[in-house]
């Protein structure tokens, strides 16, 4: 299978959250850069910096996962020709009927390499309670 090519940071971000929601480790690791220095911090977690350790961290999350849906709000973007930073609130709908919601704040960094965009950093931390969220969905 050839590596996926993402034409924009937004396309790469869509694939990241799609893989996350689907608990698809192959798709998740297809999002991450092979060339740039990597960093992944899950909410409340410690930094993970190697590709192998990042894959293990997602595998652990996906083991207990399934049945979540993301709505992203409060997007802020800083973009240059080959680096993009996207700040989002991840509103994670989960549990029976997807009626529970957790909110996570994430700083996602993307780099353009070999003609396509890849993620090089995902820094996430616990966000405000669901009642504190304002803003329209962006994805």
What is the nearest approach in angstroms of a second copy to the Cβ of residue 101? Answer: 16
Name the nearest CA neighbour of 51 among 111, 99, 120: 120
- Whichever of 63 and 79 has its CB closer to a second copy, that residue is 79
Pair 66, 21: CB distance under 8 Å: no
Residue 9 vs 23, nearer CB to a second copy: 9
Sketch the per residue contact string, 6 through 35, with a second copy: x for CB under 8 A, - otherwise.
------------------------------
CA–CA gap between residue 139 and residue 131 (Å, rounded): 20
From 1, 2, 46, 52, residue interacting with a second copy (rule: CB under 8 A): 46
């Amino acid at each position: 299978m050839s590596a996926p090519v993402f034409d924009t940071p937004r396309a790469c971000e869509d694939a990241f959250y799609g893989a996350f929601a689907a608990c698809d480790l192959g798709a998740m690791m297809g999002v991450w850069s092979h060339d740039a220095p990597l960093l992944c911090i899950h909410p409340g977690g410690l930094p993970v910096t190697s590709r192998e350790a990042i894959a293990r961290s997602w595998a652990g999350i996906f083991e207990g996962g399934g049945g979540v849906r993301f709505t992203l709000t409060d997007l802020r973007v800083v973009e240059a020709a080959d680096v993009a930073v996207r700040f989002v609130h991840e509103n994670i709908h989960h549990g029976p009927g997807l009626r529970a919601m957790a909110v996570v704040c994430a700083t996602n960094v993307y780099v353009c390499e070999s003609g396509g965009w890849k993620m090089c950093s995902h820094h996430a931390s616990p966000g405000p309670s669901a009642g504190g969220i304002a803003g329209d969905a962006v994805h």
